[in-house]
A and B are shown apart, each in its own frame.
Chain A
């Protein structure tokens, strides 16, 4: 069974600094999708960044980037120049392909605090 592990229940970062949130996953598939979602206090789940497993180039979206290590099954999120609005719960997620179930699996989340 696929599982997603976020080993850091809580993290904090000073405003304008950089923080990295870790995520590992377990799968026997060779192709899949990976995501990071942000959940602010409003509860809304917001897509931050995504990556295809067969593309080795790390995805980047403005201040957000990932370090994708397929062999290690690791998908960490780096937030640069942290802002107060980045404070939220962050979830790592994995999606199987339609021919292998097409399910989304989520980690337990990392609560990020940004210190002014």
Chain B
């Protein structure tokens, strides 16, 4: 498997524009997580899905953020309208359900999308 694939790797946009980040999880994984990484706050969980269903979106900062998972192989994180304070690295990660011992316990991360809003 190619691992978790995120696109784009870098995104520069102007304030007020819509931004869409994309993620393809590892095939067979039934959990998908979106994180935001900043120097001040580290890795913050924004939302996660189980079997394509959003389970906890309490980390989504405000209504400008939305996430979807229309099928098991694709998810999007959208920011509309974007603001300079949204500038950060956004990670997508996927994992399986633990299946005994340490099997399938870790999260696998994509390369992240560095978002810059000017």
Using CB atoms and an 8 Å cutoff, list the residues of chain A in contact with chain B. 33, 35, 42-45, 47, 50, 52, 91, 93, 95, 97-98, 101-109
Residues of A within 8 A of B50 (CB): 102
Instruction: State whether A107 and B105 are in contact (beta carbons under 8 Å apart), knowing that A43-B89, A98-B97, A102-B50 are contacts in the complex.
Output: no
Q: Is the interface of B mostly helix, strand, loop or mixed?
A: strand
Contact residue among B41, B45, B111 (Cβ-Cβ distance under 8 Å from A43): B111
B92 to chain A, nearest CB (A): 11
User: Chain B interface residue count: which class?
Assistant: 20 to 34
Contact residue among B41, B101, B106 (Cβ-Cβ distance under 8 Å from A52): B101
Instruction: State whether A104 and B107 are in contact (beta carbons under 8 Å apart), knowing that A52-B101, A91-B43, A109-B42 are contacts in the complex.
Output: yes
Annotate B23-58 by CB proximity to A: 1 below 8 A, 0 otherwise.
Answer: 000000001010100000111010010100001100
- Look across to chain B and name the residue whose beta carbon is closest to the beta carbon of A34: B105
